[in-house]
Amino acid sequence: MTTTAERMMASKLAAVDVHVHAHWQDEDTSDVKAAADAYFGSNDAPRALDPLAAYYRERSMACVLFTVDEKLSGRPMVPNDDVLAAAARNPDVLIPFVSVDPTRGAGAIDEIKRLVDAGARGFKLHPPLQEFWPNDRAIYPYYEALEATRLPVVFHTGHSGIGTGARGGGGIRLKYGAPMPIDDVAVDFPDMTIVLAHPSFPWQDEAISICLHKPNVYIDLSGWSPKYFPPQLVQYANTQLKRKVLFGSDYPLITPDKWLAEFEKLPIRDEVRPLILRENAIRVLGLDG
């Protein structure tokens, strides 16, 4: 249930960033991290969770914060409980999502229940890093548990900046990032709110089609500078998908300052900008009551 404090927060927000990663900084010495820094460019955005919250508070923004439960990349994972604890300390700006690898089996379902009881507000899945096809029927009991929570689920889709340039792509198989298998999930779990993370290069048209067709599917715009958005994405964001597209940065790899500066240059209609930057997320995340 949304608290009075959260409702007051929502009314004052300049924007809601729905895609923020919790990363360790000094502890991550993996080759994949080095390749990601080269791909995205380095910046001084704070990684520690409380300074991260202060960063967003200074900008009058809230953000969805999550980790990714995976071992493939070799990067140390920020525990879900650390994300939940940081959100409890900073409830005015941090909206905690959690990540549970769906290939864990029954243990994953038990962990979902525990994390929801602990305050999780949504879930993050990364098929390329967790190495699964989203429409694998073996995972459907996991989805049943997710759908029962009535909380939104973010799926990574498209190219992976993580692994780009690393030897063998860091072992990451891009095929798992194709969005069309998630269409099966949207059909079979119509009460699950699904967010397709990122402009799903090279499958952008598939993501647009799914979002247009399925009422429970949304798109977040994270992971790419808006100057690289394909024309059809801008067209649909301006028109038929104006209430289904969400601002996301991919912090700390792309900061909201950088993303918003590029977004300002897009030919987005004035009445659509606030929908993308805050109103759609407030509705999808239940921050409006």
CATH number at residue 23: 3.20.20.140
Q: Fill in the DSSP letter of residue 251.
A: B
Does residue 118 or residue 73 have the better pLDDT?
118
The total number of structural domains that make up the chain: 1
Cis peptide before 202 (omega within 30 of 0): yes
- Give a yes or no: residue 115 inside a domain: yes
- Report yes or no on 92 lying in a domain: yes
Q: Is residue 78 situated within a structural domain?
A: yes
Asked if residue 142 is part of any domain, the answer here is: yes
Domain ranges, residue 135:
4-284
- Tell me the per-residue pLDDT of 11-59, one tens digit each, with 9 for 90 and over: 899 999 999 999 875 555 556 656 656 655 666 789 999 999 999 999 9
CA distance 211 to 275: 16
102-117 per-position pLDDT tens digit: 998 889 999 999 999 9
Looking at residue 11, its pLDDT comes to 80
Grouping H, G, I as helix, E, B as strand and the rest as coil, residue 154 is: strand
pLDDT at position 279 is 98
Tell me whether residue 289 is in a domain. no
Q: Check if the beta carbon of residue 283 is closer than 8 Å to that of residue 273.
A: no
Is 67:77 a contact under the CB 8 Å cutoff?
A: yes
Taking the whole predicted model, whether its pTM rises above 0.85 is answered as yes
Instruction: For residues 132 and 13, give the distance between their C-alpha atoms in angstroms, rounded to a whole number.
Output: 36
**Higher pLDDT, residue 239 or 104:** 239
In sequence order, which residues have a C-beta less than 8 Å from that of residue 253 and are 6 or more positions away? 21, 36, 40, 161, 223
Could you give the 3-state DSSP secondary structure of residue 263? helix
Q: 215-244 burial, b if ≥16 CB within 10 A, otherwise e?
A: ebbbbbbbbbebeebeeebeebbbeebbeb
Beta bridge partners of 66: 21
Percentage, residues of the chain above pLDDT 70: 90
pLDDT tens digits for range 135-181:
999 999 999 999 999 999 999 999 998 888 889 999 999 999 999 99
Q: Are 182 and 210 in contact (CB under 8 A)?
A: yes
